[in-house]
Structure 1
Amino acid sequence: MEMMMVCSRVVALVVAGAASVSVLSGVAVAADLNAPYARAAAKVAADGTLLEGKNVASVTRAGAGTYCVKVSDAAIDLASAAVVATLNNNRGEITAIGAPHGYCGNATDTITVVTSNSAGTGTDRPFTVAVL
């Protein structure tokens, strides 16, 4: 009986240890964005880090204030979609381009987002973009 209790404790410790190792050594992945009515969406930090996403494979910073948001769902046709974007807690300007653009290699699955300060100079800004 006592041996069974010791074995149970050892198994419990091994399972707990394995779970914590997988959490600590796992790859950092953006959390799922709760956007039930958007086909794709992303919250992006000023440095281009994808903070949260839905059907977004990656975000790449292509230059000062220029970002490439790659949509992961091949069924989404960006050319015919409504693409909207907003700056997060910053003043300035933002443009979201759903059509292929040279800044992002003319990729058909990528939204080009350009952010700038109020004077129109390309400036890194955090933003949210959605495909409706």
Structure 2
Amino acid sequence: MMQPRVTSRVLALALGAVTSLTVLSGTASAADIDAPYARAAAKVSADAKLLGTKNVQSVTRGTGTGVYCVKVAPKAVNNLASAAIIATLNNFRGEITAIGAPHSYCGNNANTITVITSDSSGKGADRPFTVAVL
């Protein structure tokens, strides 16, 4: 019976190590969100932290409970007020509204989506959400 060559084993181990390293390091950062058909998108925690993003510069708290200001990169969307915007709560029951036009809750800032979240009774409540601009 023939014994496998030592060089074959070493080559196989080296290829396995390189493959594992590529999988572990990857090219996407934790801040990237998989949204190939959206011009901009964000996953946001209840305390206004960006969990995932595509062409979103920042999220801040607006005036009032459950109000978030999602600043979209101007290069991503020419006219946010006329864009199709969708938003959904993440793992919570309640209501969500996304406003693409400048709004006083977010200082009337251009390129900012005002997101308002509430509980099932309509009372303002901090909720995690996802928002996308198509």
TM-score under structure 2 length normalisation: 0.74
1:68 aligned partner, one-letter code? C
Please say if residues 116 and 123 of structure 1, whose CA atoms lie closer than 8 Å, have aligned partners that are also in contact: yes
Partner in structure 2 of residue 66 of structure 1: 67
Give 1:95 deviation, angstroms. 0.2
8 Å CA contact 1:56–1:73 kept in 2: the answer is no
Equivalent residues of 2:39, 2:76 under 8 A apart: no
Larger Rg: 1 or 2? 2
**Unaligned stretches of 5+ residues in structure 1:** 1-28
For 1:115, give the aligned amino acid. T
Aligned to 1:81: 83
Taking the aligned partners of 1:30 and 1:111, their CA distance within structure 2 comes to 23
1:101 equivalent in structure 2: 103
Cα distance, 1:30 vs structure 2: 5.7
> Aligned partners of 2:85, 2:110: CA distance in 1, in Å?
13
The amino acid across from 1:58 in the alignment is: S
Partner Cα distance (1:97, 1:36) in 2: 22
The one-character-per-residue Cα deviations of 1:70-121 (angstroms, maximum 9, x if unpaired) are 0013351101100000000000000000011000111121000000001111
How many Å separate the matches in 1 of 2:30 and 2:83? 24
Whether contact under 8 Å (2:40, 2:54) holds in the other structure is yes
Q: Which runs of no fewer than 5 residues in structure 2 stay unpaired?
A: 1-28
CA distance, structure 1, for counterparts of residue 42 and residue 48 of structure 2: 11
Code of the residue aligned with 2:121 in structure 1: it is: A
**Structure 1 segments of 4 or more deviating over 3 A?**
none
Contact 1:41 1:129 survives alignment (8 Å) = yes
TM-score w.r.t. structure 1 length?
Answer: 0.75
1:39 Cα offset (Å): 0.1
CA distance in 1, matches of 2:74, 2:30: 16
Choose which of 111, 114, 119 in structure 2 pairs with 1:117.
Answer: 119
Q: In angstroms, what is the RMSD of aligned CA positions?
A: 1.3
Measured at CA, do residues 85 and 60 of structure 1 come closer, stay the same or move farther in structure 2, by a change above 3 Å?
A: same
CA drift of 1:45 comes to 0.2
